[in-house]
Amino acid sequence: MTGRLQSIPMGAVITNPRLQNRNAAAPCLQHRLPMTAATIEHLDALRLAIKRGGVVPPVLVVEAEDSKPGHFYLVDGYHRYWAHQQLDLEVITANVLEGKGFADALVAAGRANKNHGLRLTKDQKVENAWRNLNLPETDYYRRLNKTQAEAELGVDRETVKKMRQKVRQRGIAAGCIDANLNGNAAEEALLTYWNDHPAPDTWRMARRDGSTERKNPAWQEKKAARALAQVLANFEAVYGAEVAKKALNAVGFHLHNVKPNEGMTKVRRAFSVSAQPIPDEDEASLSSEEMDAFLEWQRLQPFDAPIQPHFNNTDHQLPSDF
């Protein structure tokens, strides 16, 4: 992203939850994202670097509408902005991107966090791509072909294809798209429907719309395997790769060449463990009424509300993970 470098008063920076890529799935997380150890370490490192006069990348901003003269929307660099605020600095170095107004700021925010800073996770990138494809203020991303969208949003072509297919399926089900159309006519019908009906839900919720996928044993096995892999990854982070490997081998020994029920019985006895309830990820989903309430809450958020200090030695909770 290129633009012009400029020192901007901190008070001239406008923040908004919709410009924070890590908030893409906020409705499913009750508006609060987890404060990870990596985030805390990143914030501390930024604050220390700035305090010592170190060089950090400029934040990215887009000029606000004429009704807000001299103000700029922050589209990338919320961690850096927060660190400057904590140090009571009066100005911040910013790269002023092309464009003007909130719609252009939304487009610019969709490309953020690619080259520096605390990178988005794969899931965050996917949710961010779905959100940007469904921006009601602009059809910029919807008009990109799959190759262009892949480059702009940082997700693969297959993911973009699935998202477009999901919207087309909804349009056909609503009687707004003729299923027999193809080529340019099909594309035009898709864009017309999409522009009139941008999806308010998250991709995680949208991709299961009316799906029986979760009842499929293969899907359940994949989900369980991923959960186990996550536990092992967490274990490795604490005890190291060698210990994690040996522990996996120790558990696997009891599962070798036995029936599933027998194997799990041996594991429970060998390690003195019992089953603990695993919360279904659907418990985080919102009802349509709750989703409407969230969208109304989001619409009413003031663009120029200052970010309050939240970080101290005893409480690492922030209203979002920026």
pLDDT in tens, 36-52: 566 667 777 888 888 88
Tell whether pTM > 0.85: no
Q: Are 198 and 135 in contact (CB under 8 A)?
A: yes
Count of Cβ atoms closer than 10 Å to residue 33 Cβ:
20
Question: How much is the average pLDDT of 112-141?
Answer: 78
Share of the chain above pLDDT 70, in %: 69
Question: How much is the average pLDDT of 92-111?
Answer: 90
pLDDT of residue 32: 40
Does 72 have pLDDT greater than 70? yes
Estimate the crossing angle of helix 37-51 against helix 78-86, to 10 degrees. Answer: 60
**Listed residue (265, 24, 257) closest to 121, CA to CA:** 24
Does 314 have pLDDT greater than 70? no
Question: How much is the average pLDDT of 211-221?
Answer: 67
Does 242 have pLDDT greater than 90? no
Q: Are 294 and 27 in contact (CB under 8 A)?
A: yes
Count of Cβ atoms closer than 10 Å to residue 235 Cβ:
15
pLDDT of residue 275: 66
Least confident range from 88-92, 93-97, 212-216, 279-283: namely 279-283
Region of residue 231 (phi > 0: left; psi between -120 and 50: alpha; otherwise: beta): alpha
pLDDT of residue 118: 57
pLDDT of residue 51: 84
Least confident range from 16-30, 103-117, 180-194: namely 16-30
Contacting residues for 10 by C-beta, under 8 A, at least 6 apart: 81, 84, 85, 89, 90, 91, 92
**Listed residue (153, 157, 164, 172) closest to 112, CA to CA:** 153
Residue 311, SS3 per DSSP: coil
Sheet holding 59-63, edge to edge: 3-9, 91-100, 59-63, 72-76, 13-14
Question: How much is the average pLDDT of 50-70?
Answer: 89
